[in-house]
């Protein structure tokens, strides 16, 4: 009997999906076991330190003996053992939220139980929203989050985004340093008026303010076209900054309307929103007339490129600065969903670091003193 090609391809896809699902489950299971192992060793050391009065000296001894007696086992450096203790102290009730296969391990019975008062508050506090997803994140990611994100609400956001976007450790670190959680959904938009719910919420979450292009080497004065070219030359980093779902379509994308030629700065398709996104890049401050131009582009893209199953095109204007009130008034009268965000070519320094850096005058004075001292010598 001859196998129908279409039916076989469908069946093959089902088998591949089943295999991939199993692989993911296996990886998550191994990761959960490793996380619990490190947590439980941290618990055991913490308990001995409290009961026996052992100090920090136990850490180098334990690290040395484990590596000598179990040379094939990795991950037990002094630094990592210290992190295991800190991890247990950060999440003392982790054993109550472990995946079922891990939770059934005998060692679980030795861990402290979650207080009944806390148990009744499950799913009501941020920390207890964090517990169930800890084992879905690799050890290295958990350590970065524990050490660099102290606010639990922010930490939960980064955990969820790590799982959702598959961020590497370097990407997670970069997102934390760029305060990604504070920038998501901050663009000025008219989405609530122009998009149905829940698409309007998803669209707002897909935009940031500001966008940080610190991977570029542009210096003032530069032209808008130079910025476009640089962003496309660093397309991978640009897409990472834009966020999940953005797919590049073209730069200076040509449109012919009424025998006239028009060119979109940057055109993307968003896989989650199922729509085209038109991006216009402007130097200086936002001006109301920018909204009219991008509304025109969105209309043309909807007529020329949009498929019947696509959602309506979204416009995004990127400026170096914007007045929020002006932007809100400018967007109010247009029928297309449009957002306005700022972009920065360098990441702003924290105030604490700014105050510790020398001023230009101080540097010049220091150089002057060095020249004077050399002449005296």
According to the model, what pLDDT value does residue 198 have? 84
With a cut of 90, say whether residue 105 has pLDDT above it: no
Q: Rounded to whole angstroms, how far apart are CA atoms 251 and 224?
A: 12
According to the model, what pLDDT value does residue 114 have? 43
Extract long-range pairs of 27-30: CB within 8 Å, 24+ residues apart: 28/99, 28/135, 28/136, 29/99, 29/101, 29/102
Ramachandran sector of residue 290 (left: φ over 0; alpha: ψ -120 to 50; beta: rest): alpha
Q: Estimate to the nearest angstrom the gap between the alpha carbon of 181 and the chain centroid.
A: 8
Strand residue runs (E) in the chain: 188-189, 211-212, 246-257, 260-270, 275-281, 314-319, 338-344
105 C-beta neighbours (distance < 10 Å), count: 14
With a cut of 70, say whether residue 55 has pLDDT above it: yes
With a cut of 70, say whether residue 116 has pLDDT above it: no
What domains, with CATH codes, occur in the chain?
21-136 (no CATH), 184-351 (3.40.1350.10)
Strand residue runs (E) in 111-210: 188-189
According to the model, what pLDDT value does residue 15 have? 78
Mean pLDDT value across residues 50-64: 88
Q: What share of the chain is helix, strand, coil (3-state, %, to 5)?
A: 55, 15, 30
According to the model, what pLDDT value does residue 111 have? 45
Q: Rounded to whole angstroms, how far apart are CA atoms 192 and 232?
A: 31
Judged on CB neighbours under 10 Å (0-12, 13-18, 19+), 246 is buried
pTM over 0.75: no
**What integer best gives the mean pLDDT of the chain?**
84
With a cut of 90, say whether residue 359 has pLDDT above it: no
pLDDT band at 2 (very low <50, low <70, confident <90, very high): low
Mean pLDDT value across residues 39-47: 92
pLDDT band at 120 (very low <50, low <70, confident <90, very high): very low
With a cut of 80, say whether residue 157 has pLDDT above it: yes
According to the model, what pLDDT value does residue 229 have? 92
Q: What separation in angstroms does the CA of 307 have from each of 171, 279, 338, 342?
A: 33, 19, 20, 30
Q: Rounded to whole angstroms, how far apart are CA atoms 83 and 54?
A: 17
Q: Which of 192, 187, 193, 144 is nearest to 167 (CA)?
A: 144
pLDDT band at 122 (very low <50, low <70, confident <90, very high): very low
pLDDT band at 358 (very low <50, low <70, confident <90, very high): low
Q: Rounded to whole angstroms, how far apart are CA atoms 100 and 106?
A: 12
What are the structure tokens assigned to 84, written together?
């295991």
Q: Which of 45, 57, 338 is nearest to 192 (CA)?
A: 338
pLDDT band at 83 (very low <50, low <70, confident <90, very high): very high
pLDDT tens digit string along 183-231? 988 899 999 999 998 889 999 989 999 999 988 988 878 889 999 999 9
With a cut of 60, say whether residue 350 has pLDDT above it: no
């Amino acid at each position: 009997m001859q196998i129908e090609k279409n039916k076989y391809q469908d069946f093959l896809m089902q088998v591949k999906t089943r295999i991939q699902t199993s692989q993911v489950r296996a990886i998550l299971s191994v990761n959960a076991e490793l996380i619990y192992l490190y947590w439980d060793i941290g618990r055991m050391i913490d308990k001995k330190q409290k009961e026996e009065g052992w100090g920090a000296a136990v850490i180098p001894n334990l690290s040395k003996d484990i590596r000598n007696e179990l040379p094939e086992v990795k991950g037990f450096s002094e630094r990592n053992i210290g992190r295991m203790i800190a991890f247990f102290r950060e999440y003392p009730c982790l054993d109550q939220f472990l995946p079922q296969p891990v939770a059934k391990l005998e060692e679980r019975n030795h861990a402290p139980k979650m207080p009944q008062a806390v148990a009744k508050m499950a799913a009501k506090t941020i920390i207890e929203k964090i517990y169930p997803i800890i084992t879905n994140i690799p050890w290295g990611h958990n350590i970065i989050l524990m050490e660099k994100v102290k606010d639990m609400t922010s930490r939960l956001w980064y955990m969820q985004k790590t799982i959702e976007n598959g961020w590497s450790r370097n990407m997670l670190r970069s997102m934390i340093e760029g305060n990604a959680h504070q920038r998501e959904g901050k663009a000025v938009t008219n989405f609530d008026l122009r998009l149905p719910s829940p698409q309007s919420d998803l669209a707002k979450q897909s935009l940031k303010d500001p966008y940080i292009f610190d991977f570029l080497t542009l210096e003032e004065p530069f032209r808008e076209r130079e910025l476009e070219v640089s962003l496309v030359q660093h397309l991978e980093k640009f897409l990472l900054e834009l966020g999940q779902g953005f797919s590049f379509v073209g730069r200076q994308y040509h449109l012919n309307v009424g025998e006239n030629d028009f060119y979109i700065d940057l055109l993307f398709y968003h896989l989650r929103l199922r729509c085209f996104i038109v991006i216009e890049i402007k130097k200086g401050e936002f001006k109301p007339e920018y909204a009219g131009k991008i509304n025109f582009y969105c209309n043309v893209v909807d007529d020329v490129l949009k498929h019947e199953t696509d959602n309506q095109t979204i416009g995004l204007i990127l400026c170096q600065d914007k007045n929020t009130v002006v932007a809100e008034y400018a967007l109010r009268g247009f029928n297309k969903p449009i957002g306005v965000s700022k972009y920065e070519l360098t990441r702003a320094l924290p105030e604490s670091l700014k105050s510790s850096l020398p001023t230009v005058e101080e540097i010049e004075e220091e150089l002057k003193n060095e020249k004077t001292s050399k002449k005296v010598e």
